Amino acid sequence: MSVKTLKINGVDIAIEEGATVLQAARQAGVPIPTLCHLDGVHDVGACRLCLVEVSGTRKLLPACVTEVAEGMEVQTNTPKLQEYRRMTVELLFSEGNHVCSVCVANGNCELQDVAIQVGMDHSRFTYRFPDRAVDISHPQFGIDHNRCILCTRCVRVCDEIEGAHVWDVAQRGAACYIVSGLNQPWGEVDACTSCGKCVDACPTGAIFRKGSTTGEKERDRAKLDFLVTAREKHEWTR
């Protein structure tokens, strides 16, 4: 396999062909904030937090779905990107109903972490306060759509790792929501194996284990990685 060389923030990096800019940056120890990226499932470039500047194009490119190319020059933390990232996070907060103080994921939430990382202390946009539902029909888990940022990690993890494809995105535009089965209550979906991978995948407190209260959500993210390695490479690493 051939190797591509590129520069990220002026540092030379060599990585195999077909890798993404995000992988190259991670390998070089350059932090790029992400929300919809999840190790072990394919990338969709939905959250736009990993946008980077590549010289030669005026467009900002999502690092998670952009393949490395020979001689590429990437900037990951310009003032323009910092401004855009903060705006993206502000929009995420104003789009849903994110109330950290009463959320199961408080202190253990990737949306919260990213907000701190990009330096967002308030949202300049008007909150939408959408009318969203909570589904606690499943005996073990619940989904609170108020806290959902539509990263579709649960959709991909259920489809690609568990293989059940319980989740998908219904409707369009501002009316989008994560749907289980044929718009059935989660507890009534036959396909669900109650494996709990979506709980581990969810970056916020939208999908949670019943019985956990404020700030109590715990995830075993490494489990997903372990399962993918086991399935694809037949290596059991834990």
Partner 1 sequence: MQAVTKTTQATPKPAKSDHPSGDRRFKTLDMTMKRHQYKPDALIEVLHKAQESFGFLEEDVLTYIARGLKLPLSKVYGTATFYHLFSLKPNGAHTCVVCLGTACYVKGSNKVSAALEEELGIKLGETTADGKISLMAARCIGACGIAPAVVFDGTVAGKQEPEMALAKVKDWELE
Binding site residues, partner 1, CB under 8 A: 159, 164-172, 179-184, 189, 191
CB-nearer residue toward partner 1: 55 or 171: 171
For 89-109, b/e burial (b = at least 16 CB within 10 A) is bbebbbbbbbebeebbbbebb
Shortest distance (Å) from residue 173 CB to partner 1: 10
Residues 233, 152, 60, 125: is their CA dihedral positive or negative?
negative
Which CB atom, from 100 or from 179, has the smaller least distance to partner 1? 179
Nearer to partner 1, 194 or 213 (CB): 194
Least separation in angstroms between residue 155's CB and partner 1 is 8
Least distance from C-beta 217 to partner 1, angstroms? 24
Measured from the CB of residue 207, what is the shortest distance to partner 1 in angstroms?
Answer: 14
Of 49, 47, 43, which is closest to residue 20 (Cα–Cα)?
43
Question: Which of these, 198, 199, 111, 206, lies nearest to 154 by C-alpha position?
Answer: 198
Q: What are the tokens at 33?
A: 């904030």
Cβ distance to partner 1 smaller for residue 46 or 179: 179
